[in-house]
Structures are given as C-alpha cells and as structure tokens.
Structure 1
C-alpha cells in the first residue's frame, strides 16, 4: 500500500494504521504518568508536607522547654591576685571567670558581633538557612558547618552539648527562638562571651584576655578584641604561638574581616581602621597553680572570705564553702609580692638550704611557718606556710597546735599593766618591779599560800632578785609564773583574748609558760596590737573580693582599743631589751644586715624542743616565725633535738637561733630603717637602762631537771631523776615525761655574771 492509500485509510478510520497506533500507545502511556504527577498534585503534596512540617515544629516548640544551664558551662575558676594586681594563682577545674557585660568595652562587643553575626541585634535568634544547611550536612555525614547565630552558639554552649546530631540541632533551633524572646540581646551576648572557648584552656573572654594579652577584659583595645573574635572560628589553628604559616595567614585575614565589618556597620571609622596593626598575642604561660606557697595563701583567703559570708548572710560553713570554691571570684590579696619573695628567700637561706635528712634524719621533721603584718593597717603582707603546698598540705602559718612558749610572756605583762596589778608586796607591777627569779620557786597566792606551781627556769638557772625588765630579757619562768598569779589568771586570759588569742583558754598557772596552742598568725596579731599602741589588729589577707558585679565588704582589720596606749607602749619598750640585752641578741641585735632599725620582740622555746619561736616587730612591720618538729610520716609533734641549727653541746633548737635568724634575714631587707617607735611611757629598756639587783644566785653547773609543771622546759633526757619535786602542778601531767637528773646547785653567795648562760638558751 502506497503512502497515499495509507493516508486515505487513516482518514476513513481504517485498520491499516496499526504502526501509528503503536506510536500512539507510547504517547498514551506518557499521558498517564503526567496525569499522576500533575502540577496540582505536586503542589498539594508540597503544601501538605509544609503543613506537616509546620505542625511538627509547633508540636516541637510546645514540647521543648528551655533547660537549666549546663553545669559545666557554669564552672569557673577563682582568680587570686597580689596587692599590685598581678595574678598570683587560679584555682578551679575550668579556667573561666564570668564577667558582667558592663566590663566588656562596647567596641570589643561590636568586634564579636561583626565577626559572628552582624544581624544579631535585629534577628530572631536563628539562622534558618544556616541551620538547614547544618541539618543536611549532618544527615549526609559531612560534619559541622558554620552559619549559626550568636544566640544559637550561646544555646549550644550553655544549654546543650557540642554533639552533631539532628536531634540536638532541632532542639538548638527551638531553644534559640525561645531564648531570644525571653532574654535581652545584651544578656545573650554576655552569655556567649562567657561560655565560648578561646583555646589555651581559656573559657570566656576574661580568661582569654589574660591568656593571650595578660590584661583584664576591660583593658583590651580594639585590635586585641578583633583578634580574640577572629580566634573563635578555629582556636587551636589560629593561636599565633602555635599556628602554621597558613594558620597565621588565615587568622590575619579573619582579623581584617572583623575590622572591615565593624567599619561597614559604622562601629569603627575608616581612619582608625587604617592605622591599626595586627596585635601579636603573648607567648602561652603555664597556669598559675597552687604550688609552693600559693596554696597556703589561697586557703587562708578562702577561709577569711567564707567567715565573712557566714557573718553577713547567716549561713553555715559548708554553704559558705560552696559559694566560694570555684565560683568565679576575683580575690585581691594584701600580699606584697616583694615581701613575699623576701620571706621565702629568708627561709631558704636560713633553714631549708641547710637541712640534710641523710646526715641528720631529724632534719626531715623540721617545718617553718611565718606571718608578716602591717600593724597600722592589719594587712598580711607575707606568709610562709611550709616547704610546699603539695608536699605539706597543712599550713604552718595558721596551725594552732604548737605551744607559743615564752612568746606569751608579754601578754602577762600587758595584763599586769592594764589591770594595774600589784605584786605580793603591794607594789604596782612595772618594768622596774623586783621579783624573785629563783628556779622552781613555788608561786603563792595573795594570802601567801602555795598554789602548787613551781616552774623551773631554763637549765634550772636561778637569778635571785631581778627586775621585770631583766626577767623578760632572760625569759625567767619563775618570775612570770608569780606575776600571773598576782594579776589573776582570769585577767591574763581575758587580755590574751582581747589581743587576738583564743577566748576559751583555761585560766591555770601553767599557761604562764605558754602551754596553750597558738599559730604564727595569732601571735603576729597579738604583737601587732602592741605595735599599734593597743588598738586591736586582726590580720587580714583579703584586700577585695568580687564576684561578677557583686562585692563583699571585708571587716576593717583595725578595731577598737583593747589595751591602753601606755600599757601597750610599755610592753614594747620592755621588749626592746630582749633584742638588745637578751635572748635575741645574737641573731637580731648583732645581725650585720641590721641598719639601725628599732626592734622589739620575744623568743620562745617549748617543752621537749617541739617548737621554737621569734615574734618581733619594728615600728612599721610585725613578723612571727615558728619552727615546728613534725614527724614527716605520721604528722605527730616531735623533738627537734639534733636538727640543723641546734646549740652546740646541747643539741637543742631554740627561738633565738633559726627563728630569729629567719626573722632578721627577712625583716632587715624590707623594713624602714628610719622608722621610730612613738612610745608614751617612761618604763622599759627603750627609755632607760635595765637595773640589775645585787642579790642574785649562781649555779655551780649547767644542770638539767625534771620539771614540776605540765610544760617541762627541756627535751626528754635519758637519765633517771634522783629526787621527785615536792610541788604538784595544777594542770594535767605532760604526755612525755622527762627523766632528767635533779640539779645539785649550791646556795648562791655571790653575784652571778651578766649572762649566766648563753642568752639564746631559753624557753
């Protein structure tokens, strides 16, 4: 059939058009598919999915609440500073110090907005396009990608985690919308700046400012702020100190990007922008930890802040500790870095460098503690707590379980002067008052009855009749035992409490030997009150304590007058004799480093040689130094006999030795050489020479003995006594009973020499 016939057949509807019907069959198939995927159906499906998505989002929005902040995001370190503002230490698991937005300069805030989210102040808190891109990348396994707003980043840091999951991203979207409605933009920005990680273990902008530029956030300039803002994109890659050449190029480009955006937003002028140079950050510095003496300083600061919070807010100790520990405090101490360094140097030179526990095993049991206080302000300017905070956790500066021994004698004299007490002869007690200095002389009450207390003098030396001044110089126990009875032990303990010692001390005669416990901190406060003419000094280590926008007012270290000026000044005058003509003469008066400083002070050596002290002062500084025997393994108190620095022939450590040497090595390097005591008194060594009575007694040998008090004056000996004392102490017997030989001295017939024994060999 020709083509013409085919055409005619088709026109007639003939059946010879089969081939064409085959093609038509294909067209009909396509039309069926088109009918299934019509634009109306596609649009309907799309709209349905949109409605489903909107409905799902509404349900999600209603179901997801803004959670409590992530606990880890709230963790922060406390920052401790020296008095000059330099950082002493940071204490906390996370190096973060939360700051109020008001402390962040406006141009620094703008730098971060310019870097991360220029529309921050206008948007609703989310970037839908960026979030969708992030979801797709997560689903496809491509990982994280930027594009989040500042609000979203804050939500991720503070409310959520850093995991990359679809669930977390959806929650981030919803929470961000809610947070943007519930919080102000400033609060969101503050949260973002305080929770972001900047590298170098620095969380938050304050820690970053210190880590990279060694300044507080309010001291950052625009260039530095722009670098920190640029850093957030890749902290480890963009840290200039460790960045590769590529990393340095990238962070510089990012830095320029931030500044250009600031100009574009009108936050920075073009002229200022052109003059700016890239601010290279400083080299990384190891975190200021608690090693060495730092831990002791931090612990005392925390303790004093806790006590103030307990006082102000009426909370318990545990509650106060919770409020202080790792809660973002900035605590500035009164510690002077130069004086602190000098004190540490003095201990090293006079003690620790000389210790050799292989040559002398007891050297391993020697511990020093010291506190230095400005008597006019009450500021603790230096403190030594032990060999190292991580090696000896307990602070020797604040522990109060060692006897202060004869450093308590000035308190007895102060009580006598304040109460205008009289001796047994009815004479008002003063520097010239004469007492019987015979060793082991029984103390008697006002009726002349023995009170059962007859303490021996050091080495059982008898002095006969001596003035109070001489008794203080030579630390004569029998004199101050009787003086305590004359004054009244209740009055003595009241004066001790007024001066800063514990207020629950037992009022028994044995306390005249300083048998209570006390710390260098307490004794420094007692002597500072004397130096401050009787106005109470409560030593304080805290200069200021701030947390965010909260400041805790610390109490004034200088209190009211607890001792009359005349009484305080008289004690000071008497104590100058201890330095110039007594037990501290060798280490202090004759010290070549002394440059004319006026000095008052008192030595002390406790029973069994467990502690030795020198607490002394110049007109402008008070320092108490203690040396303590402590078993390195058990922590128990031990005798320091045989340790480095002991007296030749005796093996004893004493207050006029190492403690006084440490004191002098420190004090004569930091005190004012021109300062003078302004004393309102006509008594004591500072105003006239010490009068020495003619009736004295001299031992024929240097004996040892068994003491009759709770507080024996010598170390535990090896011999058995030949005789038992007749007087019974009024306190409990000592836990370590010495077994020394009873002295066999002859009755004195002649005057004793000026110094019957080495003046450093005293209680």
Structure 2
C-alpha cells in the first residue's frame, strides 16, 4: 500500500470513529440559531418599514372636540352638564423660554437631540414595568404629543406601534419648537385645564407669559399625575411626591445649563397654587354629587383626563325624593336655626350625611354642605373628624368575631360584665390609659349591652385591649375606615380618636345591617360613553362576608338597646325597629348619629370648622381648623351631642320617608332585641379607683339607673387626611398620632 492509500485509510477510520450528532444538536446549531435570530430581526425591520410606509400622520383625534358630561339622578333627571373644553392655545413666544425648558427637563431631557422616540428610555420603561417597579412607558415629548393630539389613551400594542411610527414622521415633519408648543398646549393639567394658558389661570391666576421658572416647574411636574399632584387637593403623600418631582425638574434644568446653580439654590419652596375655583353650575348639593361621582370613577381606574374630555352620561344612584328629604330635613333641623351674625359660633357649624341601601350599596342621598360653591370640601366624605363613640360597635364586633376573652378568661358577649368605673386604668396595656366616662360618672359592674346603651368609655377601652388593638384596627379597615390603615395601636383608638367620614361610617353600619357582607357605598349607577364599554361598579358594592352573620346580627341587636333605652332614644319609634349609635368628640368638635332600619342606613355628622382665623387659648387656628360647636344653633344644653341635632336629623329624615315598616331578621341570641337589658347603679366619682374591678361573665340583676348627659373630653385628632381631596387646614390639631402617650382624656364620648 502506498503512502497515499495509507493516508486515505487513516482519514476514513477517523471519520468512522467520530460520534454522530443527535437530532436536537443537528437542529439547534449556533449557525442555525444565529440565522434564525437575524431572520427575525430582518422580518421585524421589514415589518416596521412596511408599517412606516403604510401609516400616515392622521388628523387630530375626536377628543380635540371636547363634549359635555351629563349627570342624572336615578330617575333620569339631569342635574348637571360639565366638561366643556377649557383650552386657549398660545405660541411659544407667549411662554418664557425658561418655562418651556421646565417641560423638557421634567419629561424628556433628550428632546432636542432625539428623533421623536427614545429607544433607551423605551427599553428602560419596559424593563421597569416587567421588573415590578411600576408602569413606565419611556415616552418622549413627541410621543406624548402624538398620543394627545392624534391618537387615543388606549393602552394597546397597536396604538403603541402607531405612536412610534407617527412620532418618527412628526419629528421629521415639524420643528422641535412646533412639537413642544403642541405638547404644552394639548396636555391636561387637572382642574379641567387643557394647555398651559388655561393651567396658568387655574393654578396661579395669571397668563402663561407671566409664569416664572418655579411656577413653570410645578405645572410641568403636574403632568405626571394632575389629580394626585394638585396641591390644594393632595394628600400628604401627594404633596411629597410633587415636591420631589418639582425639585427633580429644577435639578435637571441646572444639569442642562438652563438654570444657574445659584438661582436654583434660592428656589427652596414650591410655589403654592391658589385654591380651586369651583365649577359653574354646581350650586348647592349638585357639586358634591358630581364631585363624588367623578372621584369614584377615578378611583376605579378611569383617568381624570378621560372624564374631563367629555362625552359621558353618568347616572347616579341618588334617589330624588330621599335627596330632597335629606336636604330639607337638615335645613329645618339645623341650618335654619343658625344665626352667625348674633352667634359667631353658628358660622363654624358644618353638616354632612350619607344614606345607603344596605342590600345594594347604592348611595340614595348625600349632603355635603350648604353650598358647593361656598364650601367645596364635602362634609359627607371628610375623614378629619373623630367618629367618637360611633366606633364602639366595631370593638364589640371584633370581640365577637375573634372569640375574645376578658382579662379573667371569660368570653366576651353582650352579657359579659365589666367595671364601669370612670378613669379605671386599663389592664393588659403597655400604654397607661384610664379614660373618664361622661360627666365623670362611675358605674358598678355592668354588662356590655348596658355599656353600649350608656356609651361607657372605661368598658370599651378595656374591651379593646382584651380583643387586641391590632384586631380592632384590622376589622375597622375591612369595614372601610381608611384612616385605620395607618393607625397606631394605642388604647385611645377604642374611643374613636381616628378620623372617619359619614360615608365610611354608613358603609360600616350597612355591613352590620347586611348580615356581615361588606357594603361599599357607591354613587355611580352607570356611566356610558360612545367610545367605551359601559362603566358600573354596582356589582362590586356588595362584597364578601367581612364578619359572620351571627356577629353582625348581634351588633344590630345590641344597638337596638341604644335606641330603646340609651343615648339614642330621640330616634325611638313604636312602629319601626331601629339600631344605631351616638357619638360626641372632644371639645365638642364633632357630633354623630349613625343608625339604620332593615332597609336604610344613614350617618349624620356635625363638625366644628373655623369660619375665620382666630386664637383660642393662645393657639392660632386658621380658617378651616377644628373648633368647638358648643352653643351653636341655640342648643338648649350648650353642647351639640350625638343624641341631639344629629339624632333629630336622622329621625325626621328617616321617619318622614314613605317606607314600609320592617323588622330585623336576626340570627342571634344576644342583645337588647332578644333579651332583657340590664341597668346598672350609678355613682358620681372624681377619682379613679386604686384597684380596678375584675370582669365576670355572670348575668346581673336589674337595677334602676341614672342617665348621664354627653360630655366631650380632650384628645388630638390624627392629622393624616384619608380623602382623594384634602380637607381644610387644621393647625389646632396635634400632628402626632392620637394619644401616643396614653392621655387620660382620649377619644369621643356620649
């Protein structure tokens, strides 16, 4: 064999010895994978080029021609038309250069250099969204202008692709100045203001040409979240966020050399915008109804801009007859009795009320104040005043729901006995707490039913600790009390020291009336729009079982005792079963009655709000701050108690309606509705006992009683606002949590 033959033999053997590739390895070679990837890229590029050639810059979208929104009552009666466009376009020559640049600094620093889209920003936005850091689109100013002016707000892949293509074409067709002018003039700033000229007037009362760089930075910052960042309506969190964005905008101005560092250093405080100017045509209660409906829709995910763009027909759950009856009753029972010229305190009294169907969650009537155009903030939704003793039923509900026991190990029921001694130190609490009863009246050992009837503070303070303050807070949140989400677990919470609104209290009591199924008061019945699916949250107004039926029915049974022989006897009716609870807060700053029949729940609150600035006990209180109501409306006792005007309003309104009387369908063996009540002996006392009485579960014998009058005590209100719009300022209130140090005089009383 020659050398050539030998070489061929070796090569043949080598080939035979080399292992064959598997089918999968032959299919996924790096060459094939690279080829596939490049093929996909080429196809994507081809598709984009085809889309670019196919899509033209369209005409302005239909939203540019804004329509009215129509608001109707449940019977179809139109009560308001709102949403007319508020826009006046101005050229860049009418906008100071430094103000123009604030928008670029806030939204798109690369605006003057990009070609209409920012691939890095887009990739970053997609990554942040995918990684859970929040939705971020990475849109340029050009893209936002295209979306506002040419397209819609729909969050779809098709709309986004069209936006990218049109942005590229718009960037080539128009100058950067034209695009920036279009963006500034079409953007929505809140307060029904479209464009910078309308926004300048709405927020600062001046033309755009008079804006300074600090004001421009605020308006530019607003565009990220107009409703949340409006200083006059923002929560503390909203104010913090918009301040951060304002600083971010100005810092970017310095980075881009558009603002001198020394001038930036002098800009330390965001220029506060002027108060919101109420919309026309919203006089009386109409404005409160319209605003509540709009807030509910925004909370459900429909943007404020989409609503204010118009075209909606919004039907409310408001019953025309009940609404008229509620307004008339409050006028007759309270507002007609106010004489602010001769009694200055009368100018400080505000009223709020909400009436709810417990079976559907529909808000049937709402009273936000005497006139929306004079007092925009709704008293029906304000959460800055203590609900006081109307909170006590929630403590008993938490006890029953958690099978809680007393310090002696006895199960807590309506018959469980507690010491009713005034200023009795609470046992089992890390924070010292010994609240007084009303008028400092001391009782002997009383059962829980009697404690609810007489609203005995010492009993419910101890019960709250026995249940566990965390459990009480948890249930309050589940029942819809928004401020309890951030409440501190101090014993003072048991006396209603955290704020709540009439709407929230109506929802909580409606849940009891609905046998424990969660009721969320809902004002919008339906909202229709030509370009959207019909909106309705009514199916969500009745939720899951928050507390068991036995617990809810027990609470209803117990609260019938408050009406029949307790602090709520004003609403007692021989033909109709009623359950409810009174409440009066410290210094008589608020007074409540929340009550219900089997088919209607109504919460009424009166609030002391300073009509003018003043100094009280050496402390400056601004207009809108919390003040006492004592002596208002010619109250015969001086004090405005929950069992007085609020209960009178409730009774006159409820029993004035043409409703068929009904009985509660209760599945319980507890409470006044199913068992005889116990009335304890009463002993006035000025000093707390050295050794508090222990609790037992024995049922006491009947003994005559003395009924104390309602007297408030002293405790600061938690200042954290829980509204979608802020309440008036309250400098007279502490900025700390209520009673963090265990004050002896905390929470509301009856």
Question: Does the CA contact (< 8 Å) of 1:620 and 1:671 recur in 2?
Answer: no
CA displacement at 1:71 relative to structure 2: 7.0
Give a deviation string over 1:546-598, Cα, whole Å, max 9, x none. Answer: 1114212425200000100000000100000111101111x212xxxx46111
CA drift of 1:92 comes to 2.5
1:631 aligns with 2:635: no
Say whether the 8 Å CA contact 2:561–2:673 is kept in structure 1: yes
TM-score (norm 1): 0.56
- Quote the Cα distance in structure 2 between the aligned partners of 1:428 and 1:80: 51
What residue is the counterpart of 1:377 in the other structure? 360
Secondary structure of the residue that 1:596 maps to in structure 2?
A: coil
Q: 1:544 — aligned with what? A: 526
The answer on 1:731 being equivalent to 2:740 is yes
Output the CA distance in 2 between the equivalents of 1:388 and 1:595: 36
The answer to whether the Cα contact below 8 Å between 1:379 and 1:539 also exists between their aligned partners in 2 is yes
- Describe how 1:170-189 pairs up with structure 2 within 5 A: none
User: What are the ranges of 5 or more consecutive residues in structure 2 without an aligned counterpart?
Assistant: 1-55, 87-148, 151-278, 613-622, 687-705, 719-737
Match of 2:597 among 610, 614, 618: 618
Could you say which residue in structure 2 is the equivalent of 1:584?
Answer: 568
Name the counterpart of 1:470.
450
**Counterpart among 415, 419, 441 of residue 402 in structure 2:** 419
CA contact (8 A) 1:538 1:557 kept: yes
Distance in 1 (CA, whole Å) between partners of 2:626 and 2:436 is: 23
Q: Go from structure 1 to structure 2 and tell me whether the alpha carbon gap of 1:707 and 1:65 turns closer, same or farther (over 3 Å shift).
A: closer
Change (3 A) 1:410 1:737: closer
CA contact (8 A) 2:384 2:717 kept: no
Shift of 1:703: 11
- What are the residue-to-residue correspondences of 1:291-440 with 2, within 5 Å? 291-309=283-301, 320-440=303-423
Mapping for residues 406-555 of structure 1, pairs under 5 Å: 406-445=389-428, 451-502=431-482, 503-550=485-532, 551-554=534-537, 555=539
Q: What is the aligned-residue RMSD (CA, Å)?
A: 3.1
User: For the residues of structure 2 that align with 1:65 and 1:505, how far apart are their CA atoms?
Assistant: 53
Matches within 5 A, 1:588-607: 588-589=571-572, 594=573, 596-607=575-586
Question: For the residues of structure 2 that align with 1:556 and 1:365, how far apart are their CA atoms?
Answer: 37
Structure 1 consecutive aligned stretches of length 4 or more whose deviation exceeds 4 Å: 64-67, 69-72, 699-712, 732-738
1:282-314 CA-partner distances (Å, limit 9, x unpaired): xxxxx992111010011110011111125xxxx
Gaps of 5+ in 1: 1-63, 96-157, 160-286, 311-319, 713-728, 739-760
Higher relative contact order (CA 8 A, sep 6+): 2
Q: C-alpha offsets along residues 690-711 of structure 1, whole Å, 9 cap, x if unaligned?
A: 0235x65345999999968668
Establish whether residue 81 from structure 1 lines up as the match of residue 72 from structure 2: yes
Classify 1:301/1:578 alpha carbon distance in 2 versus 1 (closer, same or farther; 3 Å): same
Distance verdict in 2 for CA 1:415–1:546, change over 3 Å: same
Report what 2:671 is aligned to: 684
Give 1:157-172 correspondences, 5 Å limit: none
Find the counterpart in structure 2 of residue 572 from structure 1: 556
Shift in alpha-carbon separation, 1:386–1:332, aligned structure 2, 3 A = same
Q: Which residue is 2:703 aligned to?
A: none
Q: Report which of the two structures shows the higher radius of gyration computed on alpha carbons.
A: 1
Partners of 1:351 and 1:540 in 2: CA distance: 27
Q: Secondary structure at the match of 2:327?
A: helix
- Output the TM-score relative to the length of structure 2: 0.57
Q: Is the 8 A contact 2:404 2:467 kept in 1?
A: yes
Query: Per the alignment, do residues 92 and 664 of structure 1 end up closer, same or farther by CA in structure 2, a change over 3 Å counting?
Result: same
- Residue-by-residue CA offset, 1:376-406 (whole Å, 9 max, x unaligned): 0000000000010001110000010000000
CA contact (8 A) 1:621 1:671 kept: no
Task: State the 1:506 CA deviation.
Answer: 1.9
C-alpha distance 65-529 of structure 1, shift in aligned 2 (>3 A): closer
Q: Using a 3 Å threshold, how does the CA distance of structure 1 residues 567 and 296 change in structure 2: closer, same or farther?
A: same
- Written as runs of structure 1 = structure 2, the 5 A alignment for 1:60-139 is 67-68=59-60, 74-93=65-84
Distance 1:542 1:65, change over 3 A: closer
Counting matched residue pairs gives 452
- Listed one character per residue, the Cα deviations across residues 419-468 of structure 1 (whole Å, up to 9, x for unaligned) are 010112211111111110000000001xxx77400000111011121111
